[in-house]
Amino acid sequence: MKRLSIIIPAHNEAERIGKTLEAYGNFFRKIKNDKIIDFEIIVVINNTTDKTNEIVKKYKNLFKEITYLDFKEGGKGFAIIEGFKDALKRDNDLIGFVDADMATSPESFYDLVKEIKDCEGVIASRAIKGADAKFTFKRKITHKGFNFIARSFFFFPYKDTQCGAKLFRRKTVREIHKNLKLTKWAFDINLLYLCKKKKLKIKEIPTVWEDKEGSKIASMLKISLQMFLGVLRLRIIMSPIEPLARQVRFIARWGDKLINN
C-alpha cells in the first residue's frame, strides 16, 4: 500500500482548520481502511496568534494520522518547505500540499493521487477545461492577471500556477526542496520553475474549487502588487545577468516596502 503525506500550512486558521482536518481525516481514513493508500496529515502552524494550535491538537487526538509542526516564523512557502523536510524523514511515496480553507475538498485532492500515474507531479487547475471553480469577481481578476504574469516571465504551459493543491513523488520533493526560495507570493512558481529546469513531467488536471474567503478591494490591490513584486523578484534571482539583477532587486525591495507601509 502506497503512503501519502499531505502538508497543510496553517496561519491563523482557527475558524476553518477543524472542519478541514475532520473532512480530510475521515475521507482518507476510509481510503486507508479499504487498503488503497496509507496517509499522514502534517499541519504546519506558522506565525499564528489565534487558537489554531489548540484546535490542531484536538484533532491530532482524534486522528492518529495527524501530526503538526509549530513555528513562530510565517509564510506559506516557509511552512511548505518545513513540511517537505519533515515528510522526507519518513517512508512515503507521494508528498503534496493543500490550503487549510477547504477550497479543495479531500475528494478533489484524491484526484491528484489517482492522476499522477507516470508523472513526477500533478497540480490542480481552476482554469482548464473540465474545472469547476467558483471565484468571486475580484479574485477571478487577480487570478487571471497573476497567471498571465507568471506565464510571461517563466514560459509555463500551465494555465493555473496558484491553485493550492499540488502533489509530487517523493524523489521530486527530495530533488527540489533544498533549492526553494522563501518568496511569499511566488512560492508555487518557484517550485514549478525548478521542476521545469530539471525537465520533470508535471501534469495539470481540472479540479473542483470554491473561493472560501472575501477580500476588500484595497487589500486585493495590495495583494496584486505584492504578487507582481514576488514574481519579479524570483525572475531576478533566476537571472544570469547579475549587474541588472542587482539594480532591479533594489527596485523590487523598494516597491515591497512602499506597499507594506
Global confidence as pTM: 0.86
Which pLDDT tens digit goes with each residue over 86-141? 999 999 999 999 999 999 999 999 999 999 999 999 999 999 999 999 887 777 77
> Given this model, what pLDDT does residue 241 score?
55
**Helix (H, G, I), strand (E, B), or coil: what is residue 165?**
strand
- Mean pLDDT to the nearest integer, 82-86: 98
Between the CA of residue 238 and those of 193, 194, 198, 252, what are the distances in Å?
10, 10, 14, 14
pLDDT confidence of residue 216? 41
Which residues are CB-contacts of 31 (< 8 A; sequence separation ≥ 6)?
37, 39, 110
Alpha helices of the chain — where are they, by DSSP H? 17-33, 52-62, 76-87, 106-115, 137-154, 170-176, 187-197, 217-237, 242-260
Give domain limits for the chain.
2-260
**pLDDT at residue 11 above 90?**
yes
pLDDT of residue 246 exceeding 80, the answer is no
Q: Is the pLDDT of residue 3 over 90?
A: yes
8 Å CB contact between 98 and 109: yes
Which CATH superfamily hosts domain 2-260? Spore Coat Polysaccharide Biosynthesis Protein SpsA; Chain A (3.90.550.10)
172-176 average pLDDT score:
97
Query: pLDDT-derived band of residue 217, with 50, 70 and 90 as boundaries?
Result: very low
44-58 pLDDT, tens digit each: 999 999 999 999 999
